[in-house]
Amino acid sequence: MAQTEPENGNRPTPSLEEIQQGWRNLATRVDQLEAERGALEQENKSLRTLLEKTIEYRQKSHGELVNLIAGLVSKLPISDVGVVVSRLVEHNTHVNEVCAALANGKIEGNVLQPAILKVLEQTKRDLVAAVKPTVEELIRLDTPLETKILQSLISQPDLFFSQEVIRANRCFVKGQVPRERIVREFGEAALVGFNDLTTDAKLNPRPKPEEIVLGFKNDFEALLQQEPALPADKRKELLALHQRVQRSKASTAEAQARKNAFLKLSFILELLHYYHHQNTETPEGTFAQRLPAVIEQLVVTNDQDNLDEKLIKQAESLLAFVAGPDQRLMIVNNIGKGGRAGRTLKFVLALRMDKVPELDGVIATFVKHLLPNQKAPPPKSLAAILRLVKPELQRPVVKAIATSTRIRKDEAEALSLALGQELGLKGIEAELKKPEVAVTPEMEQQAAWENIKARLGQRASPNDIATAIRDRLHAKYDADEVKQSWLALTAAEPMALVRIFCLLPYLPDGQTDPMAQAIMESYVSRLTHEKYTETYAKVVHALRNLFKVKPDSPALVNFISLVKWVNAEAAARLSHDIGLPAR
């Protein structure tokens, strides 16, 4: 068989015309592809522009929405604002990051920010800036606190809440020293001059060494001189520490200055810690417990009412760091739980605020505080207190004293005239001598319930509110009065309504009020009526949250029990809506 030629070898060589024709076809196809590529590029650019505009619009519209919601949230009860706003801001930040990653990989600097968040950020910066001068003031005053610990708070404010610093602060307040500091700075030999205040044979037989607190012995200096193992330089430094501690415990202006500087630092760091940890810190713990105690300790130096205006101004400078007016009001309203001078400070601070909510109610309660014993106090002592409030509010307070029923009418008028002269209020005599307008029963009823509503607005204790409502209903009991008492309760926060409801049936001596069952039955009937659906929903929501956190809460158990006492059907409905297990 003859060898065959390759297939390609049989193809004839193309002519010049064929090559030219093929080149023209190829050039045409290349031009067509280039045109299609240009069209695709233009389409991609248009789509990219459209996507960027959509993302930008989404980012801005979402920022505006969060800004609007944050403004609405700021009107909620203060206990809910911090957590809700922080979650809104966290969500907004996440959306901005996703939008930025889709568009150009970075967040634009002009993204809308809620006004309340701007205030919070500025407050944090102001608090951080205030830490350094306050720490430097404490160091300059030569307090027993370690300089190294104080300086560390400038860069790391949260160290204030570490166990080491908490123990050092407690020792400073009580005039004691941590054992670990003495051993670290002076050695074991220095312990001869101290008493161990922590170790107890029964209560705490084996405490950790770093938790032991020491107190100076009465003959500390003599014992120190008799200890040969302690070097002379260490003995000198230890004596200096002893003197600093003793000076801080003394009742002198120097000791008070040290105490005030420490309290100012405590206030600043407590507030800064709250604003940095709003997701985990409760506002009640900060603004209703710790900060009011700091303010009261700063201003009230004794049990008398002779408050110092300089210290009050220092307290106001600290309150100015608080971002929200509701938070400042919560601090002021929770001052005064330790004594009469503290309660005086509470009213003075309230009447020095730029805007006083429920002014008439505050003045009425203030007058009641000023006249506690059904006896007219000396005008000079009252004038000294009234000079601390804003001048434009002194006249209303004096006029309220003139109409007070805490003392006899002639004594009240004489006291008001004397106060007007002491304070230099011109024309007060003519105002006090104006003929009184006859008070109708309707006016008297309205004033009584407005006063109770004002106390609710000031977040008075549930026991006080329950006592006031009970006293009013005992003084005048009819269907209209019961209705007014219910309307007053609906104006309160849901949990306040629950707690007051639980306290109303019980008299101060522990006995059940004979009128309680009828009143409770009226309240439960109104609560479950369709007219008060909104109030019912709020109460159920509050109790449902309480049940999730603490199923055996006394407030929840007592409320359901009292409702069941007067209306078993309503109690069953409430239990079902709250989510309580069937019984």
- Residue 507's closest CA among 470, 482, 472? 470
Look at residue 202 and tell me whether its pLDDT is greater than 80: yes
- Written as six digits, the tokens of 40 are 């695709």
Angle between helices 516-527 and 554-566 (to 10 degrees): 100
CB 263 within 8 A of CB 298: yes
Question: What number is the average pLDDT over the span 329-337?
Answer: 90
Query: CB neighbours (10 Å) of residue 362?
Result: 23
Give the pLDDT of residue 452: 83
Taking 3-state DSSP, the helix, strand and coil percentages for the chain, each rounded to the nearest 5, stand at: 70, 0, 25
Residue 245's pLDDT band, with cuts at 50, 70 and 90, is: very high
Which residues, at least 6 apart from 528, have a Cβ–Cβ distance to it below 8 Å? Answer: 536, 567, 570, 573
Which bin fits 142, alpha (ψ -120 to 50), beta or left (φ > 0)?
A: left
pLDDT at 80: 54
| Interval 459-505: pLDDT, tens | 788 888 888 888 888 888 888 888 888 888 888 888 888 888 888 88
Weakest mean pLDDT among 191-205, 351-365, 384-398, 437-451? 437-451
At residue 130, the pLDDT reads: 95
Task: Grade residue 86 by pLDDT with cuts at 50, 70 and 90.
Answer: low
Residue 91 near residue 284, CB atoms below 8 Å: no
**Average pLDDT in the 358-384 region?**
87
Q: Is 14 helix (H, G, I), strand (E, B) or coil?
A: coil
**Residue 432 · residue 396 · CB < 8 Å:** no
Average pLDDT over every residue of 129-149: 93
Which pair of structure tokens corresponds to residue 112? 């809308």
Residue 348 confidence (pLDDT) above 70: yes
Angle between helical axes of 409-423 and 391-402 (0-180°, round to 10): 160
Q: What pLDDT sits at residue 319?
A: 94
Query: pLDDT band at 115, cuts 50/70/90?
Result: low
Residue 550: phi and psi, rounded to 5, are -145, 95
What is the widest separation between alpha-carbon atoms in the chain? 149
Residue for token pair 């006899």: 408
Record the tokens describing residue 369, joined without a space.
Answer: 């505080």
Contacts from 74-77 at CB under 8 Å and sequence distance 24+? Answer: 74/116, 74/324, 77/493
Q: Which of 196-210, 260-274, 391-405, 563-577 has the highest mean pLDDT?
A: 260-274
Residue pair 119/323 in contact (Cβ under 8 Å)? The answer is yes
What Å distances lie between residue 351 and 220, 326, 514, CA to CA?
49, 15, 40
Q: What is the pLDDT of residue 212?
A: 92
pTM over 0.75: no
Q: Supply the pLDDT for residue 110.
A: 47
Give tens-digit pLDDT for 444-458. 778 888 888 887 877
Q: What is the mean pLDDT of residues 378-386?
A: 90
Rounded percentage of the chain residues whose pLDDT exceeds 90: 29
Give the mean pLDDT of the chain: 84
Residue 474: predicted pLDDT? 84
Q: Which pairing describes strands 213-216 and 177-178: parallel, antiparallel, or unpaired? A: antiparallel
Phi-psi map region of 258: left, alpha, beta (phi>0 left; psi -120 to 50 alpha): alpha
Alpha helix ranges (H) inside 226-290 = 232-249, 253-276, 283
Concatenate the DSSP letters of all residues of 453-521 into one string.
HHHHHTT--HHHHHHHHHHHHHHS-SHHHHHHHHHHHHTS-HHHHHHHHHHTTB-TTSPBPTTHHHHHH
Give the model confidence (pLDDT) of 27-68 as tens digits: 888 888 888 888 888 888 888 788 777 777 776 777 777 676
What's the one-letter identity of residue 565?
W
Residue 194: phi, psi to the nearest 5?
A: -125, 155
Alpha-carbon Rg of the chain, whole angstroms? Answer: 37
Query: pLDDT tens digits for 430-446?
Result: 777 755 556 677 777 78
CA 451 → CA 152, 362, 475, distances in Å? 50, 9, 15
CB 141 within 8 A of CB 163: no
CB 321 within 8 A of CB 127: yes
**C-beta contacts of 283-290 below 8 A and 24+ residues apart:** 283/78, 283/79, 283/81, 283/82, 283/327, 283/330, 284/79, 287/78, 287/322, 287/327, 287/330, 287/331, 287/334, 288/330, 288/331, 288/334, 289/334
